Amino acid sequence: MTAASADEPENESEPEPGTVRPGGRTARVRTAVLRVAGDVLAEQGFAHLDLADVARRAGVGKTTVYRRWGSVTGLVADLLGDMAEQSLPRTETGSVLGDLRANAALVCRTLADPRQGALFRAVIAAAACDARTAEALRRFYEVRVAEWAPCVEQGVARGELPVGTDAGEVVRAVSAPLYYALLTSGVVPDEDAGERAAAAAVVAARGGVFVA
């Protein structure tokens, strides 16, 4: 883990001209803090997230962390925003089934990854009892669905799926069984589950189930 140095000045209102690398101090502090926040969420859960502890582990001044993120929920909201920005672009294979299999494989890899899987479970759990986290989580999935929706729209344009198919519904249908198995039964989705999720969504979409 790359920690921002604790003895750099805390004044980050405006970086001095000419001294800032791409990324700069503000970006380095954010990277370090969000990395630690993600680690704590994945390892211990939302209840153990504490701004002073995050500052210490990230090697960043406590004042900086309080001033910038304000609260634990503010920090989690920023983490989710960063995860949406950093997440992978969609795959284009030339067929809607191929594209959605790639989407399912990405979801499976994410949920099966020890850190990422635990992080998602922690944030989803936190969203159940915290409105700000719930809103940040909703926006995260909105961004991800919007990223993959063109795969479905192209499938409609190519005549693979009926006109009027709700692209967002199809993309969500791919993720749903993978998340459901993990959250309700602790079943980490494997490659077969991903294939089945993509196939089920495409067969149902072809059948017109998702025509709005």
- With binding defined as CB under 8 A, does residue 148 bind a second copy? no
d(CA 26, CA 34): 12
CB of 34 to a second copy, least distance (A): 20
Judge whether 161 and 151 are in contact, CB under 8 Å: no
Residue 87: other Cβ atoms inside 10 A: 13
Burial class (CB in 10 A: 0-12, 13-18, 19+), 210: buried
**Binding test (CB under 8 A) with a second copy, winner from 121, 156, 161, 194:** 121
In the complex with a second copy, the residue whose CB is nearer, 1 or 47, is 47
**Binding test (CB under 8 A) with a second copy, winner from 122, 151, 152, 167:** 122
Burial class (CB in 10 A: 0-12, 13-18, 19+), 6: middle
- With binding defined as CB under 8 A, does residue 180 bind a second copy? yes
Binding mask 18-37 for a second copy (x = CB under 8 A): --------------------
Residue 68: other Cβ atoms inside 10 A: 17
Binding residues for a second copy (CB under 8 A): 45, 47, 121-122, 124-129, 134-135, 137-138, 141-142, 169, 172-173, 175-177, 179-181, 183-186, 196, 199-201, 203-204, 207, 209-210
